Amino acid sequence: MYTIAHRGASGYAPENTFAAFDIAAEMNADFIELDVQLTKDGHIVVIHDDRVDRTTDGSGFVKDFTLKQLQSLDAGSWYGAEFKGERIPLLEEVLKRYHSKIGFLIELKGHASQVGLEKAVGRLLSRFSMHHIVQSFSLKSIQAFHDMYPSVPTAIIARPSFGRFSRSQLNAYKSAVHYVNIKYTRLNRFLISTAHKHGLKVFAWTVRNQKTAEKLQMMEVDGIVTDFPDFISKDG
């Protein structure tokens, strides 16, 4: 079972920064989960929200900033004074830093402004020989990515209704994805078993307490997305 550090070890450091990624690596996470978007000048940066307001000292939409403008923002002080000066990373910088050390679960943000993100991310990933999984809430986006880069494993952040998948959902997923990533409060043993029977592995997001992590391990999920990678027992 994989331990997946949510936006890095974001329980201990500001999300989607090198500070959080370094701690995740130190805690022996199997994967770092992060979010990517394109800047105004076409660079792939690591940030979750479509606006910079919540996690930096700036204001505005990511798509309206050049890379230089984005990297002038402070992405750490909002979390704690000791993180002042943390920057919004380039995805390329992150991949270079952890090359062959840790896997990545990379979420393609589905904002309308992100035209060409699938192609840009796939082209960059082709230069690195580490374990990547690319995910999105958008099946259309993941299908497009899978069609262009069929050798890269993919995941859908799924929303099963009433604790089960419909047949149409399963058929759609089987054509494009290898993993389903589901909010842990929606998971049950039947749902996990159904996914496994259809050749899909199951991730659970986002876990923030140890008891929940232990329960999910007993339910035989294939990975747990957590702000606290040290909560996950490697013996489970």
Catalytic (active-site) positions: 6, 48
191's enclosing H/E stretch is: helix 189-197
CA distance 80 to 37: 25
Determine the Cα–Cα distance for residues 118 and 164; give it in Å rounded to an integer. Answer: 29
Residue 35 DSSP SS3:
strand
DSSP per position, 110-127: --TT-TTHHHHHHHHHTT
Instruction: Give the total residue count for the chain.
Output: 236
Cβ neighbourhood burial of 8 (10 Å; 0-12, 13-18, 19+)? buried
Find the distance separating the first CA and the last CA of the chain, reported in whole Å.
Answer: 8
